[in-house]
Amino acid sequence: MAPIRAIVFDLYGTLYDVHSVAARCESYFPGQGAELSRRWRQKQLEYTWLRSLMGQYRDFEQATLEALVYSCKQLGLALSDEQRAALCEEYLRLAPFPEVPATLKTLNEKGLRLAILSNGSVNSIATVVRNSGLQAQFAELISVDAVQIFKPDMRVYGLAEQRMKLDRSEILFVSSNAWDATGASYYGYRTCWINRSGQNFEELGRTPDFVAEDLRGLVGVCGG
C-alpha cells in the first residue's frame, strides 16, 4: 500500500466548530441559540445536496444564508437584516477545535502535505483559515467552486487529487461528517472519520479506514 503523503481535510465540523455560531444565535434569540445553530447546519447541508441534485449551484455563503432564513422561520424567530448579516459573518470566524492548531503543526513537521477540500467558496475557506491564523499550515485550499457542485459529488473529491498532484492512493481524507468520508472512500481515498461525539457511522455501504476521537489520532495513523 502506498505511503500517505498528504492529508486532505474537510473544513466545517472537522477542523472548525460550526456550532461556534451558537453564542451569537443565543444573544439574539435567548434560549434558542443551540437549537437554531443545529437546525441551521442541518438545513445548510440539505440545501447543498438539493442544489447539487437540481443542478442549481449557488455558492456556500448563499446556501448558508438561505438555510438561516428558513431555520429562523421554522422556529418562529424574527430575523432582522442586521442579525442575518451578522450571523452569516460569524460563519467566517468559526473557531478551530482546540487540538487543531498544534496537531496540524505536528503533521507538517512529519513532512505531510496538508490541504482543505471544502464545500465553502474560495473566499469563505480563505477567510475562515486566515481569521484563525492557520494559513501557513496548508499547502492548498480547495473549493467546490471549481466544479460548481457540492460534496459528495465525485467531481469534488477529484479536485484534491488534481491539485495535490498525487495519486488518490497517497492521500488520506479526513472528515467528521460520515457521509463525506463515505463519498471520499467511494472515490478511492483512504479515509479517517473523526468521531468527536460518539456517533454511528452512516449505513451507505462503506466504512472508514481509521476512526479517531479528534485530530490527534492522525499522528499515529500517519506513521508514528
In the complex, the residues that contact ligand LAC under the rule CB under 6 A are: 10-13, 118-120, 151, 177, 180
Q: Of 195, 191, 201, which Cα lies nearest the Cα of 221?
A: 191
Nearer to ligand LAC, 32 or 101 (CB): 101
Nearer to ligand LAC, 145 or 180 (CB): 180
d(CA 47, CA 50): 5
Q: Active site includes 17?
A: no
Nearer to ligand LAC, 33 or 120 (CB): 120
Residue 204: CB minimum distance to ligand LAC, A = 15
Question: 3 preceded by cis ω (within 30°)?
Answer: no
3-state secondary structure of 172: strand
Nearer to ligand LAC, 33 or 180 (CB): 180
Q: Of 4, 3, 2, 9, which Cα lies nearest the Cα of 139?
A: 9
Q: Of 70, 23, 18, 73, which Cα lies nearest the Cα of 43?
A: 70
d(CA 49, CA 151): 8
Residue 31: CB minimum distance to ligand LAC, A = 27
Among residues 10, 59, 153, 180, which one is catalytic? 10
Residue 72: CB minimum distance to ligand LAC, A = 21
Residue 102: CB minimum distance to ligand LAC, A = 21
Residue nearest to ligand LAC (CB): 12
Do residues 163 and 140 touch, judged by C-beta distance below 8 A?
Answer: yes
Residues marked active site are found at 10
